């Protein structure tokens, strides 16, 4: 089985946020940015089908979203998936920032970057609430292992 947990390409959460901002700045309009975000979702590691259940479901999301966390060598790694293409991309953005980081770094990285990048304004209210719920779940998982 392929490892479902995302291994970060960026050195820190702050580096990941900066890289995402740079990538989104390349596009002139939100339709192109959405397409880029959807592509990020398609590149997520495969999420085990038997994890797509209520135990892994993120409450507060309009779409079906599932996440799992594990602690390895003092770092939290996250896996995630959604039944909606744009939401899978949002999962990928969050995991890029938070997966593979020490719990203290995850807790210290406020999800305000979603607003700073213009994502919350560009999304529907329900999608914005959903990504906030995903970020909360990630940070709660990190807080639970400290």
| Residue in 20, 44, 58, 61 annotated catalytic | 61
Q: How far apart are CA 32 and CA 35, in angstroms?
A: 5
Q: How far apart are CA 106 and CA 100, in angstroms?
A: 9
Respond yes or no: is residue 61 known to be catalytic. Answer: yes
Which alpha helices (DSSP H) does 12-124 contain, by range?
13-25, 30-42, 85-98, 103-108, 113-116, 119-122
State the catalytic residues: 61
């Amino acid at each position: 089985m392929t490892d479902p947990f995302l291994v970060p390409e960026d050195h820190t959460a702050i580096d990941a946020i900066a890289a995402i901002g740079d990538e989104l700045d390349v596009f002139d309009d939100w339709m192109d940015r959405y397409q880029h975000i959807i592509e990020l979702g398609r590149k997520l590691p495969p999420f085990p089908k038997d994890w797509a259940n209520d135990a892994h479901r993120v409450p507060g999301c309009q779409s079906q979203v599932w996440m799992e966390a594990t602690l390895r060598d003092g770092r939290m790694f996250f896996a995630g998936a959604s039944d909606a293409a744009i939401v899978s991309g949002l999962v990928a953005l969050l995991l890029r920032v938070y997966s593979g980081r020490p719990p203290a770094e995850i807790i210290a990285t406020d999800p305000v970057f979603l607003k700073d990048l213009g994502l919350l304004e560009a999304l529907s209210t329900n999608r914005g609430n959903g990504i906030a719920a995903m970020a909360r779940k990630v940070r709660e998982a990190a807080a639970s292992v400290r």
